[in-house]
Amino acid sequence: MTTLNQAVDEILDFLAAGTTAESISRFRPSEEAQIRVRDLVGLRAESKATPEEEEELEEYLRLEHLMIMAKARAQVRLQS
């Protein structure tokens, strides 16, 4: 199972490796991270998520928002 720290590490490693607007627009989280988020969303939908799982999901959503914003800026650069 991917932990939140592993997901953060994925993004940091991606950024540290050097990025371009094109690579940012193509970035996708690992399959493990996607599965974990789906599981957490499912628990929330069934009202079965613990407070810790709720907070974990919120952190994933903040990371997703950050990457959405980065991708939007990358798209602007690609269109320039």
pLDDT at 74: 93
The model's pTM: 0.85
Backbone angles phi, psi at 64, to 5 degrees: -60, -45
Please determine, for residue 45, whether its predicted confidence score (pLDDT) is greater than 70.
yes
d(CA 44, CA 18): 35
Q: In sequence order, what are the residues at sequence separation of 6 or more whose Cβ sits closer than 8 angstroms to the Cβ of residue 33?
A: 2, 6, 7, 10, 60
d(CA 25, CA 46): 33
pLDDT at 2: 66
pLDDT in tens, 50-62: 999 999 999 999 9
Indicate the SS3 state at residue 7: helix
Query: Please, what is the end-to-end C-alpha distance for the chain in angstroms?
Result: 40
pLDDT at 44: 98
Q: Any idea where the domains of the chain sit in the sequence?
A: 4-79
Give the mean pLDDT of 34-63.
97
pLDDT at 64: 95
